[in-house]
Structure 1
């Protein structure tokens, strides 16, 4: 059995002023819905001007909304004095038709963070824990704190450097989990869990357990999607967002997809408020842009592969990402490297306690990643104390990511 953990234990987030809560029971009730933006912002070595420097720390898409989405925003702005619920219905209908779903199995939200939070609240409790991967996206753990649920972290499986969910270990970690959270591709590693493993989870999870499959990054990889489990009526909730490939992180739009009875429990906790019509219009235009996903997927993949190849040539090990982020083993305390890069206005992603010598790097533009290479080289060459000798990782670059056990 894996130990339960306190997601609010000191890890960098608690030091930031906007995560200071009132003492006592009211503290839990006041916990916000946390997003990647909050978590990335909290982990920056210092509060930085978002308009200065290079920010490859929050898994954002620097391309922003597509041209069609931008035009749709411009066109809808004059109608900003209206609620226009019909736009939400139309957007939901387009997505449902494209994916072969019933409209009743899809609910739009302002991003996917809210339905993630509500799903954990709805199906976990002090007697029904949350099971999640380690390292994995932290937001579900914060939601579990609100519901009073314990959190069980299960290390990623890494027999061949794959850094993927250990599904059998996750299923064995608790006899009655309320939610098992699977992020595919995983944040922060960018790695995909094989379809066969996810099928095993669906088939073998306890009867009343909800599998929460977060597909925020699914458009960036070739992994099979999980929406068919919803069509089959399984105890599965799938999350989608427009924040990543579609470049709409600041506009906020996403979906929760699941059986209507599951969605009813989720939506009872929130999500019935009118959504920004600009985000709805941009999302609709994005879905109707037939070439957008393939074009952007290729651009991001090329930049990612070039960056990973360069790091490997320099003797560094990275997770075999298929997403817009990866974990980089810097062979010394990651916070030291993070802080040194921040001093150069190069902001890279946070450190997970399970892998203290690794940094999450977001794939930026080609120019941003070239700038990262330069700054990273300078930082790593500035003080070699405590580093693994450079010839060692070159000899071991085919070996597993051994510190990830």
Structure 2
């Protein structure tokens, strides 16, 4: 059995070095849930940036953002709705959920819009884990579920990825064996930070063999960037599966905030008491609807990002470096030395790359930026790696969460 993990331990999840007091200053019970920060990729990326980083300067390929931003139709939709910004317009949320449900062959009751996918991720862990219901996740993997599990009192089992030097996929049999009664098994597909996909057959194995009360939480934040089969059909079949979707990645709406939780109505009913009934920004609602109605958006952007990723990884391999076989907008790069040294040296050139996962301390995560940004990355990476980072005075990093401008963004 894999050991449990305290995500607040100094050697635990990234961002390391964040104080215990800065996260959980609350009493036990309902007040704890009300005050818990809902962590997002933005929080975790910002917390790991050097203190001297200026968000308005340099190149930021550290937060899995899409620099293309919203599509033109989404931008125009937001402009057009601004005069009606004094209204809540709840019907817009209903129309958006109905549109997505129709496109995916779902019942509208199986879809709930949220401000991004971080809220339903967080609420699912709170709803289905607890003192006797652990959380099982991959390592390295997206860290946010662990913070919610800490509040619910759940044990956390981190299971190393299978074939880390190759496919770097979820080790589904080991994940099933890690705990006898998991409340949630979390699968991010494609995985963050590796960008790698877990085969459909493996995901089917988890769904078929998990304990009957276990919820399989499948995070498809990056699914539009790959050719892997989607998992929404598990919901149609009535399985214990909740699927997360977001407009933050391929759709370029990270700062606008829109996403969905997709699942059986009875499962969704258990996560909504934790939140999700608040009115959503009407700008985000209309931008999401316009994006869904653009038939060329996904294939066009998927190709642009894939071409840039493939060219960048090919160049790195030509220089003798290994990368994960990503199908997403990020990948892990083995720099063959402590990753924090390379991260800091690049930051000194105002080239900000992603954080380091304790399981792979010699690797850094690279977000796929624009072609011009990735050419600039090549130049700075060559400069840094041609010199020695030994003896480099590291900036004070990571930044503590209490110093960030973020509130409880989701």
With the length of structure 2 as denominator, give the TM-score of the two structures: 0.91
SS in 2 for 1:13: coil
Supply the distance in 2 between the matched residues of 1:17 and 1:88 (Cα, whole angstroms). 38
Taking the TM superposition and a 5 Å limit, the aligned residue runs for 1:127-206 are 127-158=132-163, 161-206=166-211
Aligned to 1:108: 113
Aligned to 1:390: none
Aligned to 1:65: 70
Aligned to 2:398: none
Supply the distance in 2 between the matched residues of 1:179 and 1:138 (Cα, whole angstroms). 14
SS in 2 for 1:169: helix
Supply the distance in 2 between the matched residues of 1:63 and 1:36 (Cα, whole angstroms). 18
Moved more, 283-292 or 17-26: 17-26
Contact 1:45 1:338 in 2 (8 A): no
Supply the distance in 1 between the matched residues of 2:228 and 2:16 (Cα, whole angstroms). 35
Supply the distance in 2 between the matched residues of 1:353 and 1:303 (Cα, whole angstroms). 27
Contact 2:60 2:351 in 1 (8 A): yes
Supply the distance in 1 between the matched residues of 2:15 and 2:389 (Cα, whole angstroms). 28
Evaluate the alpha carbon distance shift between residue 2 and residue 323 of structure 1 in structure 2; reply closer, same or farther with a 3 A threshold: same
Contact 1:14 1:20 in 2 (8 A): no
Taking the TM superposition and a 5 Å limit, the aligned residue runs for 1:283-362 are 283-362=288-367
SS in 1 for 2:274: coil
Compute the displacement of 1:28 (Å): 5.6
Moved over 3 A (4+): 11-19, 21-30
SS in 1 for 2:218: strand
Supply the distance in 2 between the matched residues of 1:15 and 1:149 (Cα, whole angstroms). 22
Taking the TM superposition and a 5 Å limit, the aligned residue runs for 1:372-383 are 372-383=377-388
Compute the displacement of 1:14 (Å): 5.8
Evaluate the alpha carbon distance shift between residue 365 and residue 209 of structure 1 in structure 2; reply closer, same or farther with a 3 A threshold: same
Evaluate the alpha carbon distance shift between residue 69 and residue 322 of structure 1 in structure 2; reply closer, same or farther with a 3 A threshold: same
Gaps of 5+ in 1: 387-405
Where relative contact order (Cα < 8 A, 6+ residues apart) is larger, the structure is 2
Compute the displacement of 1:159 (Å): 6.8
Contact 2:68 2:252 in 1 (8 A): yes
SS in 2 for 1:153: strand
Compute the displacement of 1:10 (Å): 2.3
RMSD: 1.7
SS in 2 for 1:4: coil
Per-residue Cα deviation, 1:117-148 (whole angstroms, up to 9, x for no partner): 00000000010000000000000000101101
Contact 1:126 1:147 in 2 (8 A): yes
SS in 1 for 2:69: coil
Contact 2:23 2:37 in 1 (8 A): no
SS in 2 for 1:97: helix
Aligned to 2:7: 7
Evaluate the alpha carbon distance shift between residue 58 and residue 159 of structure 1 in structure 2; reply closer, same or farther with a 3 A threshold: closer
Contact 2:4 2:157 in 1 (8 A): yes
Compute the displacement of 1:24 (Å): 7.0
Per-residue Cα deviation, 1:61-109 (whole angstroms, up to 9, x for no partner): 0000000000000000000000000100110011000000000000000
Gaps of 5+ in 2: 392-410
Supply the distance in 2 between the matched residues of 1:93 and 1:10 (Cα, whole angstroms). 45
Supply the distance in 1 between the matched residues of 2:295 and 2:18 (Cα, whole angstroms). 42
Contact 1:115 1:266 in 2 (8 A): yes
Supply the distance in 2 between the matched residues of 1:81 and 1:115 (Cα, whole angstroms). 27
Contact 2:120 2:244 in 1 (8 A): yes
SS in 2 for 1:115: helix
**Pick from 90, 93, 109: which aligns with 2:98?**
93
Taking the TM superposition and a 5 Å limit, the aligned residue runs for 1:241-320 are 241-320=246-325
Aligned to 2:22: 20
